[in-house]
Each structure stands twice: as C-alpha cells, then as structure tokens.
C-alpha cells in the first residue's frame, strides 16, 4: 500500500516537496526550477528510498530503447541539475555510488514518518467528524 502523501502525489524530504502531479519541486514553499528529466530522476530516487538506482535502470526508465542520445552525458547533466536545485547549503543529499545514485537513509525515514503522520492526522479527523 502506498503512503497517503504519495497517493496524493506529494513527497516531502529535507525541507523539499516534490509534487508529482504538477511537476514542481518546492523548497520551503518556493518553487525551484527543474527540467523534466532531472525531475523524473528525483522521483525515481524517491520511489526507491534508501536503495541504489543504477545508471542502467535510469536508462531503461528515462529513455525508450529507440532513443539515440549520449546517455552518459545526458544522465550526468540531469544529476548535476538535481544537485544544483538542492542549493549550496545542501551537501551530500544525493549520493553518487559505484554504478548508481541514492538518497541517504535518513531522508527515507523522514518520508515514512511524514506519511505515517499524515495517515494518523487524517484518521483522527475522520473519527471526529
């Protein structure tokens, strides 16, 4: 079962909010410019919290088989755009690991706690009404 926040298309982590429906990344309520591929990369990383997403998996999910593109350059550029979008004060949020990328475990815990809190709040409102 998906967490409630994910069903609503909102993923929150480290002061950021990724809105899957509108395609927006927000930091403390302010919209951060992020192109389509970097946005999709961030969404994929958040779908698999704490796990390494390999470069091959990004290739399969982001570029159809009949697409001819300099994959390494395109992926590196998109990853750099994600890192840039986080801003200079956010260091180490996106981890470059051997053969792939990951978000740190504590970000994943924050996502799970936020989703659980949202479910509890909604449940208490449902009982009060």
The two tokens of residue 92 are 């180490």
H helices present in the chain, as ranges: 4-7, 36-47, 55-62, 71-86, 105-128
> How confident is the model at residue 102, as a pLDDT?
82
Q: Yes or no: is domain 4-128 CATH 3.30.70.270?
A: no
Q: Rounded CA gap, 83 and 90, in Å?
A: 8
pTM above 0.85, yes or no: no
Domain ranges of the chain: 4-128
> How confident is the model at residue 31, as a pLDDT?
94
Per-residue pLDDT tens for 73-95?
A: 888 898 889 888 888 766 567 77
């Amino acid at each position: 079962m998906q967490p409630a926040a994910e069903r609503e298309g909102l993923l929150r982590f480290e002061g950021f909010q990724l809105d899957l429906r509108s395609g927006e990344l927000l930091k403390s309520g302010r919209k951060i410019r992020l192109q389509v591929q970097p946005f999709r990369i961030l969404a994929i990383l958040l779908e698999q919290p704490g796990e390494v997403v390999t470069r091959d998996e990004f290739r399969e999910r982001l570029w159809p088989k009949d697409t001819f593109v300099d994959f390494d350059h395109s992926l590196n550029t998109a990853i750099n755009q994600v890192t840039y979008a986080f801003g200079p004060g956010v260091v180490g949020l996106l981890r470059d690991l051997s053969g792939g990328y990951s978000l740190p475990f504590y970000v994943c815990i924050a996502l799970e706690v936020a989703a659980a809190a949202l479910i509890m709040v909604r449940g208490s409102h449902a009982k009060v009404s």
